[in-house]
């Protein structure tokens, strides 16, 4: 876990002493980035018959995709969200919710799809490695709009691209020397590039805060939570992204740190619903530029008109 954390530090918060490893990995990064670029250039996009809105990013880890997806999907009817379901303990296509009714467990769905299912009482959520299979299933179930979670690199599907960017990234190299999935110039393929602090702003509210809390989270680049932490955080425990939690282990950590509750994100909380531990929650919401919603509305109207 320490090695993983150190590697994430190099990706998102590089220091001078990371330079030798970055240089060592640079040839692999250039090879990887070139391969991804050629894949994008050679891809033949397939139309699926209904509007598809893709919400993605170029960097690994979180950039607000889940709350952005929730905000977009909440505006429409007959919408189905399709996700890869990273970290789930299942394979193939799994229907997580249908029109708001949850029909799978978090181990089958993964944490982010389950959070979306809980947050959207009128939408459907499906996870699948093969997004095209899930799209056809959603259409058969009556979906009129697809929101593709983390879909920027799904180059085989015709869709409206929304690319989310953080306020700043110090390391702009492709994986494995940097956090980027493709070269930075591939952002030109997006219909909308939304940057945090410009087109969208994070706001955080809190629930059940106590005087002494232990931050426990399983998200990528967990230090991005630091600006939003409330008073009373007595310690931090970082798990790998999408990791599941053991109740007894967490209870022991609480006793060790002498805290009254665990401070968790909504993404973490969906994996603790059966736990009998006191939870304090950080609830993330995005304030999104209305111009973006206007562009999405126009895309959907134009799509329907052309059909």
pLDDT at 8: 82
Asked whether 75 and 178 are in contact (CB, 8 A), the reply is: no
Whole-angstrom CA distances from 11 to 15, 19, 155, 196, 298 are 10, 11, 25, 19, 37
Greater confidence (148 vs 8) lies with: 148
Domain ranges of the chain: 42-201+287-306, 203-286
d(CA 47, CA 26): 36
**Cis bond upstream, residue 176 (ω within 30):** yes
Nearest-angstrom CA–CA distance, 271 and 267: 8
Q: What is the DSSP letter of 124?
A: E
Instruction: Tell me what percent of the residues of the chain surpass a pLDDT of 90.
Output: 86
For residue 37, the model assigns a pLDDT of 96
Q: Where are the beta strands (DSSP E) in the chain?
A: 52-57, 79-83, 94-98, 101-102, 124-127, 145-149, 160-165, 192-195, 200-207, 213-217, 233-238, 261-265, 279-288
Burial readout 239-251 (b: 16 or more C-beta within 10 A, e: otherwise) = bebbbebeeeebe
pLDDT at 1: 62
Helix/strand/coil for 147: strand
Tens of pLDDT, residues 29-43: 999 999 999 999 999
Give me the pLDDT at residue 292, please: 97
Q: Using the predicted structure, report yes or no on whether residue 63 has a pLDDT greater than 90.
A: no
Looking at the predicted structure, is the pLDDT value of residue 304 above 90? Answer: no
pLDDT of amino acid 9: 84
- pLDDT beyond 90 at 123: yes
- Contact (Cβ atoms closer than 8 angstroms) between residue 271 and residue 120: no
Class of domain 203-286: alpha beta
Answer whether 40's CB lies under 8 Å from 182's CB. yes
CA–CA distance, 262 with 213 (Å, rounded to integer) = 5
pLDDT at 307 exceeding the cut of 70? no
The model's pLDDT over 69-107, given as tens digits with 9 standing for 90+, comes to 999 999 999 999 999 999 899 999 999 999 999 999 999
Structure confidence by residue, pLDDT tens digits, 265-290: 999 999 999 999 999 999 988 999 99
Neighbours of 189 (CB within 10 A): 14
At 3, the pLDDT band (50, 70, 90 cuts) reads: confident
Query: How wide is the angle at C-alpha 27 spanned by C-alphas 22 and 30, nearest 5°?
Result: 100
Torsion over CA: 95, 101, 105, 106 (sign): positive
User: Which of 63, 5, 88 lies closest to 180 in space, CA to CA?
Assistant: 63
pLDDT tens, residue by residue, 208-256: 999 999 999 999 888 889 999 999 999 999 998 899 999 999 999 999 9
Percent above pLDDT 70 for the chain: 99
pLDDT at 204 > cutoff 80: yes
Distances (CA, A) of 78 to 74, 126, 135: 10, 13, 13
Residue 305 has pLDDT above 80, yes or no: no
Model pTM above 0.85: yes
Average pLDDT, the chain: 94
Euclidean distance between CA atoms 56 and 38, whole angstroms? 19
Strands 94-98 and 279-288, sheet pairing: unpaired
**Is residue 4 scored above 80 in pLDDT?**
no
Residues 6+ apart with CB under 8 A from 259: 210, 212, 213, 214, 234, 235
């Amino acid at each position: 876990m320490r090695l993983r954390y150190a590697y994430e530090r190099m990706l998102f918060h590089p220091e001078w002493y990371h330079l030798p490893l970055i240089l060592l990995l640079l040839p692999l990064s250039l090879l990887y980035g070139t391969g991804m670029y050629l894949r994008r250039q050679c891809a033949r996009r397939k139309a699926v018959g209904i509007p598809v809105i893709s919400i993605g990013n170029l960097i690994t880890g979180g950039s607000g995709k889940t709350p952005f997806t929730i905000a977009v999907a909440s505006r429409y009817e007959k919408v189905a969200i399709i996700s890869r379901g990273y970290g789930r303990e299942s394979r193939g296509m799994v229907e997580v919710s249908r029109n708001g009714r949850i029909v799978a467990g978090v181990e089958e769905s993964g944490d982010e799809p389950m959070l979306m299912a809980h947050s959207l009482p009128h939408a459907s959520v499906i996870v699948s490695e093969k997004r095209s299979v899930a799209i056809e299933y959603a259409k058969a179930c009556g979906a009129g709009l697809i929101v593709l979670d983390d879909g920027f690199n799904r180059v085989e599907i015709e869709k409206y691209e929304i690319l989310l960017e953080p306020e700043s990234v110090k390391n702009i190299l492709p994986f494995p020397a940097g956090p980027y999935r493709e070269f930075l110039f591939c952002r030109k393929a997006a219909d909308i590039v939304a940057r945090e602090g410009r087109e969208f702003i994070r706001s955080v509210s809190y629930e059940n805060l106590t005087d002494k809390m232990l931050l426990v989270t399983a998200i990528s680049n967990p230090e991005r939570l630091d600006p939003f932490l409330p008073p009373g955080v007595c310690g931090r425990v970082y798990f790998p992204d999408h990791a599941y939690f053991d109740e007894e282990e967490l209870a022991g950590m609480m006793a060790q740190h002498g805290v009254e509750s665990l401070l968790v994100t909504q993404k973490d909380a969906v994996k603790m619903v059966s736990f009998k531990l006191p939870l304090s929650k950080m609830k993330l919401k995005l304030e999104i530029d209305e111009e973006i919603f206007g562009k999405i509305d126009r895309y959907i109207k134009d799509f329907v008109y052309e059909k």
